[in-house]
Structure 1
Amino acid sequence: MNDSKDTQAVVKPQGVGARLRRKEDVRHLQGKGNFIGNMQMAGLQEVAFLRSPVAHGSIRRIHVEDAARDNVILREAMDCADIFAPSTLPGYQNSTVPPLASGKVRLVGEAVAMAFAATRAEAEDYAEMVQVDYDELPVYANMHDARKAQDHFVHDGWNNNLFVQLKSDVKFEEAAAKATRQVTHSVSLSRQCMLPMEGKAVLAYWDHQSDQLVVYCGSQIPHMHRTGFAEFLQLDQSRIRVISPDVGGAFGYKCVLHPEELCVAWLAKTYRKPFRYMEDRREHLIVGANTREHEYRLTGHIDDAGRLLALEAEITVDAGAYSVWPFTVGLEVGQALGNLPGPYRIEGYRCTTTGVATNKPGFMPYRGVARTGVCLAIEQLMDAIAREVGREPWEVRLDNLVRAEDMPYVNIANKHYDGGDYPAGLRRALEMINVQEVRARQRTRKNGEPLLGIGLATYTEQSAHGTSVFAAWGTAVIPGFDQAMARISADGSLELSVGVHSHGQGMETSFAQIANEILGIDVSKINLTHGDTGRTPFSTGTYASRSAVMSGGAVSRACKSLLPRLLHIGSHMLGVSIDDVELVDGQVRHGDRHVTVADIADAWYIHPQKLPPDVDPGGLEITVGYKPKVDTGSFTYASCAAVIALDPHTGIVKVLDYVVVEDCGTILNPLIVEGQTIGGTAQGIGTALYEETPYDDAGQPLASTLADYVMPGAPEVPNIRIEHTQTPSPNTEFGAKGMGEGGAIAPPAVLMSAVNDALKDRHVLVTRTPMTPKRIMEAITAAGEHSAAIDIDQPTVAAPLREAAA
């Protein structure tokens, strides 16, 4: 206790909105991170997998050489269940994912046998002592052939190759009847990988002291991983502990249960020894090519000014061979159906989305889940409308965007937009790139100079959507309340515990800022525990841009619940009424007298004689659950614009300028928000211009090394300029909204618009990502030769403008 009047030092703000450097960066920059690849254990066995060289075939015979019999496992020896990902979506066809192939393989790279030894090299040697004979079956290397199949389906017992087909029809006929014109446009995205720096990583052992299976895995969802292990290994959850240490990136790749993880957990359960599997880069490029492959055919029913009155769409997703646990293919299909209208006012909507099974890796949720595709599709339709009515593309968009005076706004797909000014964001993005000056430079371009192009897009990012939304999508696990534990230690420091887990979002910093905002405890004295099911309250995990809103909200509520306990004890120690004190900068104050949080903690733990007789017996520790007021999600939005230079002789695109005007509600930490936006934008540039896993007719992946699979590097990523607006959500703590996926949503739409704008005088449209130099040059050549539109099913998808817009 300090009764004297102190001269208050100027305290650097550390709460909500402070631009603090991330606490967790220190250990990573000093090489002190704790990753699964760094771990060492006595008797650790390394695991390798023998993988199928064929895309679709029956397994006729597997022969294991005698020298490898004690070190090789086949599916028939594993007493665990196949991974089963059910869905309640209508018409959904169930399938299972075997931990090791049994009877049939469905993609190149599917694991058929696993081997283990003291080193990875020895394990691979044992795997090579296994010979597998296959009877090859018809291969479905693309979604169109798969839809036409009459027999030999990807999954036995199905009557076609469709996982699921969803439909929506809302006021379409009456809205379309008002239209005076129709515009049809098609676009598609190629299949790609997520490519975190760390691939799949799992180490499991049996803890004899606790009599538990302990599984270390790079996970976004440790509590859900435990749920999955328990279900498919047929163990009580109390017998399993999942720990996720530092995670070297994820982007959605680590929010599902992978067969390899189940295999390693089964080994540890069965042999009571430690086992580890680390995915190498080639395995990831082959088996991890599992996202983004969408095709869209959109028809806009418009008036003469370009107002989009009704939208008609057919969306097809190449879902690969397996539906992943727990989200299933239905998540991607459902997100596409629900988010296609985006930020626009549309009166009528008719859409069919189909998830098609093919002989490729099973589709997984990647940063931006479906919204990257729907943003590309709706924004290219806006460009097509602008061409049809002879207006600038931004003029048409401004006429169609949801207006500020309409907020809060429930759109045609029943998305609840909670606030913001979409047109203002677009106008500011146009100002930032100086759109009129760029138009003037286009008009005065000299021969030999690159073509300039302007691209723009506005997107909405549904974040922190909860129980009702996921229940409608029919996923195996439905998110409910997120919980947080807050405990003040005897020295006045604060321990926080949450069930979500960070893979680069800076939670250790932002959650400390939330606590500081309420309790005033210095962030250096706040410690966050996450990623350990044995030490944290339950959460379904980190995905869908939900962590800051859900677990951050739980941290806020937990700290607010501790606040009256601190005030009660502090006021008693000061000898005044609780109504006469306040908590400021970690001190309970009454006039010029105060006690610190550390003084109060000392009273609770060490000197309880100082406590009031009616003190709350819960003490200085509490666990609180939290859900936002509305669980349909908070909606971040942004407008992005870019200027590109395109060399018409080589097809090479250079991004000269890229701007983002983003509104994610109240910003917890601008430095972290900007880092997430820049990182996501870099990934989106990869989708737009570089990244692709093509397949031949036999289902063989043609980009199995980083010599074939091209990613953007530092020279390909421009200086991304970001401006913020802040429209607090009325439904969340502090008005925060999730934003971790947003940066990756817009770039394909922005850059495709820019490329086509640069080529507009040549009457060329490019309609498939990535927009490689080869694709662009083929498009230019096709237009120059007045050839027919190139079919969207072919590897090169580009067409003369006059025909593609027909």
Structure 2
Amino acid sequence: MNDLVMPDLLMQSGTDQGIGREVLRKEDKRLLLGQGKYVGDMRMPDMLEVAFVRSPVAHARLGQIEKPQGMEHLVYTMADLTSVRPIVAASSLPGFKLSAQYPLAQDKVRHVGELVAACIAPDRARAEDIAATVFVDYQELPVMADMYGTLQSDTRVHDDWSENVFAETNIDKRVSPTDEAVHSVSRKLRMARQCMAPMEGRAVLCWWDTRVDQLIMYTAAQVPHINRTGLAECLGLDEGQIRVISPDVGGGFGYKGILLPEEICCAWLAMHLKRPIRWLEDRREQLTANANCREHGYDIAVDVTGEGRLAGIRCDAVVDSGAYSSYPFSACLEAAQIGSILPGPYVMDSFVCRTRSAATNKPPILPYRGVARTGVCFALEVMLDIAARELGIEPHVLRAKSLVPAAAMPYANITNKLFDSGDYTTCMNKAVAAIDWEGCRAKQRERHAANGDDPAQKRLGLGMAVFCEQGAHGTSVYHGWGIPMVPGYEQCTARFTPDGILELRIGVHSHGQGLETSMAQIAHTVLGIDIAKVRVIHGDTGMTPYSTGTWGSRCAVMAGGAVGTACEQLAERVKVMAAVLLDSDAGLMNLKDSSVGVQDSVKRLSLSEIAHTWYRAPQKLPVGSVDPGGLEVVAGYKMMPDAGTFSYACHTCLLEVDTATGHVAILDYVICEDGGVLLNPLIVEGQIYGGLAQGIGTALYEEMPFDSEGQPLASTMQDYLLPGAGEMPPLKMLHMETPSPNSKYGQKGIGEGGAIAPPAAIINGINDALYGLGAELLQCPANPRRVLEAIAAAKEVHA
């Protein structure tokens, strides 16, 4: 059920491999046959494995560290890591406070799991045995484990700070105050702290290559060029002395988007010992010691008119940023975004928002798939449903009164976000119709009437959520958010090898996004080359152009634009060469079916023949007749304006709440999305479906709780619950394709969208089901305990 609006270029391609086609992923063959190559698959002669001594307490001064007798040379502390600098992820936001994160703790530990010492041995088991014999004198300090408590505490996470806040932002936008009477609704909402849970944890293998005087690091990372920059800063090397390679990576989701202390330690050990060093993160380390995500708190009020129009939003938001500012995104990305994207796809008269990034004795926070959008969608969309119930109107009717109309596009919203294109109302109406909203309402009334006063009811609920997602953020956006890692031009090197294979070298990294396929489809659209003859090279700083990497739903737009631009320049060179060889005019040449020649003429040359001529028979191309640059080009792409693209979606769901057990079952789910021109609809649907699974985890299952002493309480997969295949509902997916006027092919970033709306839609469905009982849930995840607590609280109020 697609509403296709396609640029002329795409309509003219007339092939089954180009942009817009459902091509099977090229990379899947090696992955499904077990032929992928991950860091954990790699071993080297004379390699040593690392195990780390990690702090068992959340806040303490470090006293004496005693290395086991006779094994002192196998244990390293920060005192041994001479000349190594700490990780400092700064921000240009006014008042931002710096935190120095040493690769191994120096003077003080600030969260459970922080690295204290590195132990080496020929295998991990022996390294762990050595780590267990290291004695550390921890002089414990008061712990700040709650983000609201730390704001009031006199104890400091960082001794030289005046308060436990990395930064505060304030936005006050009042466009045109309404004279209409408004109804105010206010609540306090919370999103639990989560762990990203990629199938593969972080992993590092590195050695010093004496031949080229270079550190070689294989690492499971999604921003290899940024990692290289950070490593150079911390190790005192120039970037040419470091080559970072990210091979096959088993999922990223933001977790693999930072520079790790473990990477710095392994690099130093490799340089110091002149031996290969490897560290493979185990699941307990991943869950309890390394970065978390999502923990937001909202004290929020919405003002709506009597007819349901959104008049304004007032919000005080706090994000638990943990103990350190992570490189390169800093500790403020989540909170800073809240202040600019909370208004969502709506028109309003006023918006006032304060945000604070709280420092606590927990691991640092990272931008997880959806980043701050998941939190703001949850906060605003839950509030809009509450307002609709209090006004006695359907939630989609309320939203329709305030969604930015299609006729207003492009639209600069109240925080000056430039929505590029789309029809939000139509998207919402399609999702409402596809779930059969009115039919579900009738079933709900019948079910509730049949239940009567039975305390053990299975109540039906309808939920929905609408959002827009800014992807492919540009230079101005990230500079404005104070992020030290600011994207500029994305580049691609495109070249033909002597036998006619097209190599595309891109700086972004593909770890599940299908870029090896979609980038080849762009090349096919421009050059007419069979995608089987396209080789996409990525994840190697020694072979690819500098890039800020894969994050923020930017690859399809930015890398896709760079690939298309490079291929266009390469196409012009190919046409000129073909015209010389065919004694024709370059303007008459066209590219299709891996060949070039005059349209409908039998006089055509294959791309392989052109490549062979340039490299091995150049005498056929007289000097001055062709570009001396040959069949290799480097081209850059920057979307203008660089404010990003705005994909959007509406999620609707029908669910059932068992009031006796608190269990929530999702019976039906609909997503209507608009990602602009879809480079490959099959890949897009896979991305959205995977995002939905993660969003369901946020809504119902996933939580990393900490006790009052900062101890993580979910150290295994038995404690940290993830949704599986059995928790996925029936899904109906609808596509609208409204091209972005700003991107090269009309595509929009969409990789995170599936994970943004489910918490809001599902919580709205639960609250709709419980409304007749007077119960309301305002926290994720909505596990059975919280559902039953909400019901019990309502009974007490009405007793």
Q: TM-score range by the shorter chain?
A: over 0.9
- CA shift for structure 1 position 176: 6.1
- CA shift for structure 1 position 272: 1.5
Counterpart amino acid of residue 758 in structure 1: A
- Aligned position for 1:597: 607
Is structure 2 residue 232 aligned with structure 1 residue 212? Answer: no
8 Å Cα contact 1:176-1:348 kept in structure 2: no
Counterpart amino acid of residue 96 in structure 1: A
Alignment RMSD: 1.4
- Aligned position for 1:411: 413
- Aligned position for 2:568: 560
Structure 1 counterpart of 2:59, from 56, 64, 78:
56
Cα deviation 1:571-615 (Å, max 9, x = unaligned): 122211222222223222224221221221121111122224421
Cα deviation 1:2-22 (Å, max 9, x = unaligned): xxxxxxxx9961010110111
- Aligned position for 2:3: none
- CA shift for structure 1 position 718: 1.2
Gaps of 5+ in 1: 1-9, 789-806
Summarize the alignment of residues 545-694 of structure 1 with structure 2, pairs less than 5 Å apart.
545-590=553-598, 591-592=600-601, 593-613=603-623, 614-694=625-705
8 Å Cα contact 2:321-2:332 kept in structure 1: no
SS in 1 for 2:106: coil
Structure 1 counterpart of 2:28, from 14, 25, 29:
25
- CA shift for structure 1 position 378: 0.7
Give, in whole Å, the separation in 1 of the partners of 2:361 and 2:789.
28
Counterpart amino acid of residue 472 in structure 1: G
Counterpart amino acid of residue 529 in structure 2: I
Counterpart amino acid of residue 659 in structure 1: V
- CA shift for structure 1 position 177: 5.9
8 Å Cα contact 1:493-1:521 kept in structure 2: no
Give, in whole Å, the separation in 1 of the partners of 2:725 and 2:545.
39
8 Å Cα contact 1:185-1:384 kept in structure 2: no
Summarize the alignment of residues 67-146 of structure 1 with structure 2, pairs less than 5 Å apart.
67-79=70-82, 80-146=84-150
Counterpart amino acid of residue 392 in structure 2: G
Is structure 2 residue 496 aligned with structure 1 residue 488? Answer: yes
Counterpart amino acid of residue 167 in structure 1: N
8 Å Cα contact 1:16-1:514 kept in structure 2: yes
Counterpart amino acid of residue 560 in structure 1: E
Structure 2 counterpart of 1:340, from 332, 339, 342:
342
Q: TM-score, normalised by structure 1?
A: 0.95
Counterpart amino acid of residue 146 in structure 1: T
- Aligned position for 1:700: 711
- Aligned position for 1:353: 355
8 Å Cα contact 2:502-2:534 kept in structure 1: yes
- CA shift for structure 1 position 289: 5.3
8 Å Cα contact 2:653-2:670 kept in structure 1: yes
8 Å Cα contact 1:463-1:636 kept in structure 2: yes
- CA shift for structure 1 position 375: 0.2
Cα deviation 1:358-398 (Å, max 9, x = unaligned): 11011111001110000001101111211221111111011
- Aligned position for 1:14: 17
SS in 2 for 1:734: coil
SS in 2 for 1:295: strand
Give, in whole Å, the separation in 1 of the partners of 2:91 and 2:694.
30
Summarize the alignment of residues 130-279 of structure 1 with structure 2, pairs less than 5 Å apart.
130-150=134-154, 152-171=155-174, 175=177, 178-279=180-281
Structure 1 counterpart of 2:394, from 384, 392, 395:
392
Give, in whole Å, the separation in 2 of the partners of 1:165 and 1:473.
12
Summarize the alignment of residues 690-769 of structure 1 with structure 2, pairs less than 5 Å apart.
690-769=701-780
Q: TM-score, normalised by structure 2?
A: 0.96
- CA shift for structure 1 position 620: 0.6
SS in 1 for 2:591: strand
Give, in whole Å, the separation in 2 of the partners of 1:380 and 1:92.
31
Cα deviation 1:278-315 (Å, max 9, x = unaligned): 11001111023511100111111221111111111111
Counterpart amino acid of residue 652 in structure 2: A
Is structure 2 residue 518 aligned with structure 1 residue 507? Answer: no
Give, in whole Å, the separation in 1 of the partners of 2:566 and 2:657.
53
- CA shift for structure 1 position 449: 5.9
Give, in whole Å, the separation in 2 of the partners of 1:215 and 1:754.
47
- CA shift for structure 1 position 64: 1.2
Give, in whole Å, the separation in 1 of the partners of 2:291 and 2:219.
20
Gaps of 5+ in 2: 1-12
8 Å Cα contact 1:176-1:310 kept in structure 2: no
SS in 2 for 1:292: coil
Cα deviation 1:205-255 (Å, max 9, x = unaligned): 011111100111011111111000000000011111001100011100111
SS in 2 for 1:640: strand
Structure 1 counterpart of 2:467, from 459, 462, 474:
459
Give, in whole Å, the separation in 1 of the partners of 2:562 and 2:131.
47
Counterpart amino acid of residue 123 in structure 1: A
Give, in whole Å, the separation in 2 of the partners of 1:787 and 1:104.
50
Cα deviation 1:412-446 (Å, max 9, x = unaligned): 11111000000000000011110111000011112
Counterpart amino acid of residue 744 in structure 1: A
Counterpart amino acid of residue 93 in structure 1: K
Cα deviation 1:242-275 (Å, max 9, x = unaligned): 0110001110011110111111111112212110
- Aligned position for 2:796: 785
8 Å Cα contact 2:182-2:311 kept in structure 1: no
Structure 2 counterpart of 1:374, from 373, 376, 382:
376
Give, in whole Å, the separation in 1 of the partners of 2:565 and 2:573.
13
- Aligned position for 1:795: none
Cα pair distance change 1:364/1:111, threshold 3 Å = same
In the comparison of the two structures, how many residue pairs are matched?
777
Counterpart amino acid of residue 649 in structure 2: A
Give, in whole Å, the separation in 2 of the partners of 1:266 and 1:353.
38
- Aligned position for 1:791: none
- Aligned position for 2:285: 283
- CA shift for structure 1 position 352: 0.3
Counterpart amino acid of residue 704 in structure 1: S
- Aligned position for 1:5: none
Give, in whole Å, the separation in 2 of the partners of 1:460 and 1:787.
38
- CA shift for structure 1 position 537: 0.8
8 Å Cα contact 2:255-2:291 kept in structure 1: no
